Amino acid sequence: MKDLIKYIAQALVDNPAEVSVNEVEGNQTSVLELKVAKEDLGKVIGKQGRTARAMRTILSAASAKVKKRTVLEILE
């Protein structure tokens, strides 16, 4: 899951070297914290949050395959 989000985010931003994904695992849920450069934050979120919502949809579909709940948080 971590590699999937990192790959998508690097394709969207101007500074792919500054993309980092940190995974915080729990019993049933894991949280992916996505951090990008300040100037690329708008590109990852998208207009009215559409890009972020699409990334979360892809993540939930992929995590459903492995029967685990994964949440995406975009950090500033």
Q: How far apart are CA 69 and CA 61, in angstroms?
A: 10
Q: How far apart are CA 36 and CA 48, in angstroms?
A: 18
59-74 tens-digit pLDDT:
999 999 988 899 999 9
15-26 tens-digit pLDDT:
999 999 999 998
**pTM value surpassing 0.85:** yes
User: What domains, with CATH codes, occur in the chain?
Assistant: 2-75 (3.30.300.20)
